[in-house]
Structure 1
């Protein structure tokens, strides 16, 4: 998803364009990884020093509800990234840097096949670990 698409979704659903919302979207597009609400707030503090967590969380919730961003949770904290607009896929997620890698096969097929007497309407499959950059550099490796 790009900025133009995200702003169009907001407008289509009756929400106003604001500089803060645009900056939030720019941050997600630039970073290209999962971010916590605190990381988003930290990025925005320079331009908006009085910005509150409430504003960040309200907009993250809105963006997630509209399908602009997608969320996941690890280490007890909700994290967000710009929504992928590609076909059905899953992610490998680096728990050190938050970057993702697309997994082009669906593990559900191998696990269940097509179950009888049950219609699957959705699922989520994420694999957590360390990417090659974080694992090899040792910059985040545990001692």
Structure 2
């Protein structure tokens, strides 16, 4: 699926959830789609403030959180900071997890889920959700 098609679908979903279309929101989603990695709210703010003077950090963070809540973005936390990325297309990719480079933020999909193992370990419990991420250095950051 092309990046433009992914953005168009995200904008449709945004509208379906009651969010108005704005050029700022489209640019925010496009920035994250192009980055293709987990990005901090600060990084998004720095980019957006170059494009739109007077935009506030609070506005950026609120939009990131709102878009995460409606599954346009994925979020994770490392080093005490929330990071966001444009949502992977689960319809094409299926259920998966991520390796995240702690140096550059690059991500790689892991097409395996360890939950079958844990389900056996937690017999009698009701699992309501999970998140599995592996952190380390990608091959490009190891070369440097």
TM-score surpassing 0.5? Answer: yes
Bigger fraction of residues in helix: 2
TM-score, scaled relative to structure 2: 0.89
Distance 1:116 1:65 in 2: 30
CA shift, 1:20, in A, is 0.7
Unpaired runs of at least 5, structure 1: 138-143
CA shift, 1:114, in A, is 6.7
Q: Deviations over 1:78-125 (max 9, x none)?
A: 100011122111110001111111111112223443742223232100
Aligned partner of 2:131 in structure 1 is 124
The size of the alignment, in residue pairs, is 137
Q: How does 1:73-88 map to 2 (within 5 A)?
A: 73-86=77-90, 87-88=94-95
Q: Superposition RMSD on alpha carbons, in Å? A: 1.5
Aligned partner of 2:36 in structure 1 is 32
Aligned partner of 2:10 in structure 1 is 6
Q: Which runs of 4+ in 1 moved over 4 A?
A: none
Distance 1:62 1:73 in 2: 16
Q: How does 1:56-67 map to 2 (within 5 A)?
A: 56-67=60-71
Aligned partner of 1:93 in structure 2 is 100
CA shift, 1:129, in A, is 0.4
CA shift, 1:127, in A, is 0.6
CA shift, 1:49, in A, is 1.8
